[in-house]
Amino acid sequence: MRSRKAGHIGTLVAALLVVTLAGCGGVEGNYACKDSVLASVQLKSGGKAYVTMAIFGQKIEKGGTYTVDGDKVNIVIDGDSMLFTASGKTLNGGEMFGKCTAS
């Protein structure tokens, strides 16, 4: 009886670890952006995202959320989505959002 319970606990711990690792996706950190209206991106634990935009010489910071699905990182700010592809220390947002590199 005891080993069966220990097996269930082990399975539960493993499942939680997989969900936690999948949720953060290894993309947490601070990124500096080039060729974009984005000056920087911060991805924090708990799916929190902060972007700094450079608009007409002014920097504006906005907060939102992010999710990770494989190599895709979707940042949502004020209901608008910004889709990036993660590769190593780079988030590539294409022509629209440019490339952001982890510092």
Q: What is the pLDDT of residues 41-61, one digit of tens each?
A: 999 999 999 999 988 889 999
Query: What range defines the domain where residue 50 resides?
Result: 2-102
Q: What CATH number does the domain containing 77 carry?
A: 2.40.128
Number of domains in the chain: 1
Does the pLDDT at position 27 exceed 80?
A: yes
Report how far residue 44's alpha carbon sits from residue 103's, in angstroms, rounded to the nearest whole number.
Answer: 14
Q: Are 88 and 99 in contact (CB under 8 A)?
A: no
- Token digits for 5? 């319970």
* pLDDT for the residue 36: 87
Runs of H (alpha helix) within the chain: 2-24, 94-97
The backbone region for 22, taken as left when phi is positive above 0, alpha when psi lies in -120 to 50, beta otherwise, is alpha
Report how far residue 27's alpha carbon sits from residue 31's, in angstroms, rounded to the nearest whole number.
Answer: 10
